[in-house]
Amino acid sequence: MRLRRLLLVVLLVGGFWYVTTHLPAGLGHLSLLNGHGAGSPLELTEAHAAPEFDSEEQNNIAVYKRVLPSVVNITSTTLVFNFFYGPVPQQGQGSGFILDKSGHILTNYHVVEGANRGIEVQLSNKHRYSAKVVGTDKTHDLALLQIEAQNLVPVTLADSAQLSVGQKVFAIGNPFGLAGTMTRGIISSIRQVRGAEGAPIEDAIQTDAAINPGNSGGPLLNSRGEVIGINTMIASNGAEQSSGIGFAIPINTAKAVLADLTRYGQVRRPSLGIVSYAIGPDLAEQMGLNSDYGVLIQKVIPGGAADRAGLRGGSEQAYVGNTPIMLGGDLIIGIDGQQVTDPQDISAMMDRHQAGDTVSVTILRQKKQMTIKLILGEARGVNT
């Protein structure tokens, strides 16, 4: 019995010595991955150099690096009272972007609405600053803030009148509090939509770039990293998250109101003082008009620019489908020599003027063409 035990010990020790001294990789050469011993050593293939980005990736990265320092996160604090009349602070988050080295920041009005306990701005370098409200435009959902900070990096503003459906766009902002997030897509359409306050947003930029709560007020960019719009709302059917249909206020609309915000603290947007309806060729033929395009004046706002200049609204009610319209008013076909085909044309022309400017309006009145000069008033409500 002792001899057998001795032989067994000798065999084990000898076997161990042989494996560790004669096999190329010792015990490490044995496979631990295959229970039957038929496996092979794990061999990884690794890249020998940093990855090369294609041209599209390079552009994406360049836009992000260029614009990120100009995008800010905005936290607004509002003091409300709970069921027991106790004060409870509530915070809302959004985005914005730096306009100049003086610290002016553009965002949405609804991002800072009701912020009676302060507004805080965080830059991409994580530094935080208290912001003051310079001016607001509730109708167009815009707000201008200002912070005191050094070495700020302003954005570059593009011309949003030259946009095309299918054009590539980027959005950078703070969705769901995730700072510095960039998404991309295309311009899906350019259309009129109704804002949160019911006022129309002319030439709103529709995009499929992912826009979510927290993106509000952030920039929508072209492929050169220039701002073409301000991300403002999404069509979500109540889901409160991106459904591939987001809208941005065109930057040209913001340009038109920034001067008033800095000068007066509010917008003094010019207006003709009319309620209007666009006329196409079919309807013009049915109405016996001498023009197959134009904007028919439905109503003249009392005391407005059109009223003071003697323009006339409609006096006879008719229907286009189920939509009631007023016939018999003046048909506007041009302003300052430029053709007018719909209310969006008028809105675009108002963006280039201020209240108090004089413009020449070309109209058709009972098939007679005439040009009337009027002094623009200030917009009231949602009239043109």
Give the residue numbers marked as catalytic.
110, 141, 216
Distance CA 185, CA 180 (A): 17
DSSP reduced 3-state for 169:
strand
DSSP reduced 3-state for 316:
strand
Distances in Å between the alpha carbon of 330 and those of 16, 279, 324, 358, 371? 106, 12, 17, 19, 11
Distance CA 229, CA 351 (A): 15
Distance CA 360, CA 280 (A): 23
Distance CA 378, CA 375 (A): 10
Is the Cβ–Cβ distance between 383 and 271 less than 8 Å? yes
Neighbours of 254 (CB within 10 A): 22
Half-sphere exposure of 140 (CA within 13 A, CB side): 33
Q: Scan for tokens 């994580």, then name that residue.
A: 126
Is the Cβ–Cβ distance between 108 and 137 less than 8 Å? no
DSSP label of 277? E
Is the Cβ–Cβ distance between 332 and 362 less than 8 Å? yes
Is the Cβ–Cβ distance between 335 and 353 less than 8 Å? no
Distance CA 379, CA 63 (A): 37
Q: Environment class of residue 244 by beta-carbon count within 10 Å: exposed (0-12), middle (13-18) or buried (19+)? A: middle
Residues 6+ apart with CB under 8 A from 249: 140, 141, 142, 201, 204, 205, 229, 230, 232
Q: 187 pairs with which residues across the strands?
A: 207
